[in-house]
Structure formats: C-alpha cells, structure tokens
Structure 1
C-alpha cells in the first residue's frame, strides 16, 4: 500500500535516526539495556524493510502503468489483477508494521525489559512479513519481463509513428496544392484529405487520452491514407494526360472500325456467292451490329470527354474501359468476315494441309501414349481413336456439290483440341509419377 502523504514524511524523517541508532537517548546498563538495544535494532531493520518494500512497490507501479496503458491482452489483465492482490497484502503488512512502531516507545526512560522484548518480537515479525511480501513482489516483477518489454517497445514506436503520420499529411497537402496550382481541381483527393483532419486532432490529443494501441493504429492508418492521397496527387497530371491520349486514340479507332465495317458487306456477298449458307449465315448480322456497337462506343466517348472536362477521373477511366471493350468486340466481328473468306478459300483450294496438320497431331499423341507401354491406356486410346474417326467423317462430309467447308474447319480444330487435351493429361500423369 502507498501510505498517506501526511504520514510518509513523519516515517521517512525518522528513518535516518533509526538507521544510525537514534538521537539523544538515555541508556541504562544491564539486561534492560540489552533488551532496549535489541528492540531498537529490530525497529531499524523493520524500517529498512518497509522502505525497501515501499520503493519496490512504487517502481513496479510505474511498470504496471506502462503495461496497462499499452496492453489489453488477457495476460496483461491478469498481471494487473495480481498486482492489485499484492497491493492488498502490502497494505496489510504495512499496517501491521506501523501499528508495531506506534505501539512501542523505545525512547522512554522507564522502558521495562519485558516491554522492550515484546517490542522486539513485534518488530521482528513485522520485518519478516515485509520481507516476505517484498520477495513475492520481486518474483512478480521478474515475471513481468515479457509484458514490460512489449509495452516499452510499443511506447518507443509511439512518438516516431505519430510524427511520420504528421509528415505524411503535410506531404499530401503540399502535393495537392501543387496539383491545384496546375489547374487540376482534384476534389475527391481534397475530400479524402479533409476527412483525415479529425484523426490528426486525435493524434495531437495524445495517447494519454486515447490509449497507446489506438493511437498507434490511428497513426498507421493516417500514414497509409495520407500516402495514398500524396501518391495519387503526384500521379494526377500524368493520369490526365493519359486520359487525353486514350480519348484521341479511341476516337481514331472507332473511325477506323466504321471504315472497315463498310467492307464487310462485299465480303458477305462473296461468301454467299461461292459457299453454302452454313459457311456464312452466322456472319449476316455483323454489319448492323458493328454499326450499333460503334454508335454506342461513340456515345460513351462523349460521356468520357465530359467526365474528363469535369475532372471526374474515375468516371472517365471507367467509361474509356467500356469504349475499349465495345471496340474490341466490334473489331473481332468485322475481322471475322474477312478471316472467314480467307480460310474458306485456302481450304477449298487445298484441303490436304488442314488434314495433314490434324493427322500429324493425332500421330504425335499416339506415339506419346505408347511410349514405354506395350498397350496404350484405354483412357488415352479411346479419345484418340474417336479423333481419327471424327477426322475421317469430316473429310467424307466434303463430298457433294456444295460441301460445308466451315464445318470441316471447325471439326478439324475440335479434333486438335481433343488431342491436345489427351497429350496434356498424359504428361501430367507421368510427371506426377516421376
């Protein structure tokens, strides 16, 4: 127990005299003199034990306050409770010591030997109690080592973390000012920076009010958010320039696709004239769909330009991504018509290249399936045999006046995909077994 302030000066003032044997005191010879000396020695020892315990408790209280300010873990809460219980024991033994001191006036001229003997016994008992509790307090302090190290580490991080957060906010503010000076508003960044102002106020209020863990967390959060604002502010001029470049590029691309889509109709006419309906029917909607898609892309480009003019950067970026996706789809559809005609012309002129390419893939897979085996695994042999039969059916389907060349091409592609899958499975299985 920490003694009342009014009482401590009295006790502490008496300590020097106690340690030196007192001031002017009358002594009488004989047995009484010896008993009085023994009692005084016991009083001095008890006073020293009391002083040591009080000092240790005060020092340990500082350590406990450090831990409880930083750590709210179960271990820290248990330590705080154990310290409270120890405090109650300290209160008890300190009270017994003070009672023993107050009960015996060793400076009385008429102090009897029996009274001195009782005083000595009481004071020795008080001293022993004080030292036992002091030993328990020392053991408790030793056990606090890991918790105290952790708490002191966090406290050591506190001031640098808060200062880094403040400096990050300052850097973000300067970067934002520079961007605005160049004519860019950066309203969203300004709003995000303004939202950090209350957090800065709490940081300035300190850990004494908000606690060390919360303050450390707040400092890290402010640092991260301020760094993001600063980085985006510094990148904003380049981002604006990139959006301007993409606007020009996508307008040019939309115009080019519009020009190319005008050539799809003549290609379809050629396909209709030379090949069966199955070879070109799926391409019939391409010209109209291309026109509609390009029109949508051009509308989105206008919206993107408006967003850029209003400096709504995320909206502008999202709209440009939509435009790009629309033009990619249209570009593929427009290219598909010309690619279809080219491939049909090649295979109808000489189908042997396509057949040989597919047969080579099948033979290569068959050799791999037989490598190191006398008979192939049915899981591999069956799809490869089916691939051979499928290729033969595709070739046979070309007989007649109006062969479906497109079906032939899609079938050979499908056969090669099946073969490639079998090859992949064989290699994976053998790799796993290696």
Structure 2
C-alpha cells in the first residue's frame, strides 16, 4: 500500500543536469579548432558528427546507470483484498532534497480505518487451544484418528484428510529451501491439503440426492453490496465517508453445498441467503496464502475482512429468523455464530476464529488466534490436519444445519409461503 522509492550510488540526475547547464556554448568551427583533450565531455569526436537531436544528453547518460524503479502499489486505493493496481514510483536520488519516506504509522491507520468500517473487527492473540475444548464436543474421541472415523460415518466426503505426512513435510522444506513464490505454496496446498468434492453438471438444480457437502471456492470475487450479501455497518466514530465498495477475493473459501436442500426448494434459498454459482451458500472457512511470515499481518487483515463479512451475513440470517419467529437469542444460537480463517505464510500456519462482540445488536466482531504451527514439522502437519477435519465437520453438522433450520423456520413464518418442499431435519 505504500510507494517504494529506490536510491542509487550513481551520480544523480540533478547534479548531471547542473553540470550540463554550465557547459560553455561554442560554435562548430571553434569546436574543430580545439585540441581533442579539451573537448567538452558531451561533445567527443565520436558524437560530434551526429545531428544535435541524436547526441547523448546528460540525462540520457545518467539513465544508463540507473536501475528501473520497482513496481509499487497505489496507496490511493482503499481495497484490501482486490488485486492492487501498480504504478511506477519515481526514483529519488540520494543527494536530492525532499525525498519521501515511508510512514508505518500511516499504513497501520489505513488498516484500522478499513477494519473499523467492517464493524470494528478486533484481533486477539491467545494461547493454542485444545480442539475438543474449542469446539465443545466432549463426547467425541480425543484421538484425532478415532474422531475422523466418526466424521466419515456421518458424511461420506472426499475432503477428509489422512495424507502422507512425510511427503507434505518434505515439500514444505523444499519450497522453503528453494525460496518458492506464493503461487507454488498455494498450488501445493490446494492439491494436497485443502481438497474439494467432485463437481457434477446436473447438480444442484436438476434432481440428485440430498447430501451435505463442502464446496471449495478459489479466488472468488464478490463485490459488495449484493442481494443477500451485505457489508457490516461501520461502528460509531469510524468517520469513513463512503460505503464499502472494493472486491473481496479470498485465496480459498469453503461453503455449504446447496445440495443439502430438497431439489424443489433449492431455487427458493436465494430469497434468504446469497447463493454462489448456483450451488453454494453460507461460507464457514476462509484461507489466505503468503510467501513468508513477513506478510503475516497482510494475510491476517485479509482473513479478518472476509471473515467479518461472512459472519455478518450469517448474523443477518439468524436475526431475521428470530424476528420472524418471535424468539430471542439462545445460548445455542450464540455458539453457532462464528467463522474460521487460516493464514499460511510459507510453511507457517495460523488458525483464527471470528465471533460477534454482541448479539442483540451488531457492534463488530473479534478475531482470535486458536492455534499456530509449522508444516515443516510432523507435529505441525498433524495439528493442521486435525483442525481442518474438525472445521469441516463443524461447518456441515453445526453451521450448515443451523443455517438450513433458520431458512426453513423463516419460510414457515410466512403464512402465504409454499412449504410443500420444506421438511424438518432428521
């Protein structure tokens, strides 16, 4: 977000320009009569025979010694997730006055402004948490392999992870040793860790069985506001003059498949929540990739933005359902209001959980650190796989079924609604 200027040890343009301006003007005849050693530096015998417009100037000579300036992001853009537009930052020689310097405090304030507009999202770093305690499922086996067997019996999916840990560890060590770029890290992770379910052309609109499936979306663009997909309101005192208008493009997100609904009701779901690609609704996990830990703050902010928007729209569905049914927030309702995020900076990963600050009214949200580890270690890979399986199970069993119940309840609350395709969850 900041413009970066390069400095060089070569003679600056400003000094060369001044030296050129002090050169004494002489006629062509006088130049020919001067000894060769006394010719001005820009008027050697080799260059004299050229037309004046073809002769090198002081500026062109200086340019030969100056490297091309770096590409830098345009700080005028308020987008936090859209692909940045680039512009050339002018070179500022070391000796020239008034060289612009970067201002980390200004950049930090820009992020705070964005986060304030997103409903007061707040970061909290906490100690690593135990999965069983965090998800509140004491009846589940503590051993991750036994827990995975329970998950597979509940949902026959392809995303359940039990990969070759040694292969993953070797790949991450190699990518770190070879200084691979962000795309290499992302490609490997999407191929080996963050898996997807098979896609079928006749689903979800044309028949098919009713199943609970996660849907993986890569680089999904969702510009706000859209129907049933709204930005969180700014908190009081944010002083942001205009509404949220930039694109959200998380590296990877997981949604619930529309196949969870009866075929006859799927077309009606969009009246209650945002539908993506006619097959997915209500995201529950956002993932961001960066090359190394130096970009952790950027990845964390991007996850926070995406998580805040997803959580706020889940909050709107729950609020509308409670109002339609004439009920109030229960402890179970509150425990379901969360969105997960994972940042991968090189081989290091961090798990985040975003929850509302309050429930009766929206006053922002808090994103807390749940766990962090390194994929170059066996334990780090095992912990990532364990949490990812737990999140997928929570996303379908708790989050997905809760969203479906809210949509059904909201539909039934309308006396004139067609409820023939609405049935209770088993």
After TM superposition, is the score higher than 0.5? no
The TM-score normalised by the length of structure 1 is 0.21
- Greater relative contact order (Cα 8 A, min sep 6): structure 1 or 2? 2
The TM-score normalised by the length of structure 2 is 0.21
Which is helix-richer, 1 or 2? 1
Which is strand-richer, 1 or 2? 2
Rg comparison, structure with higher value: 1
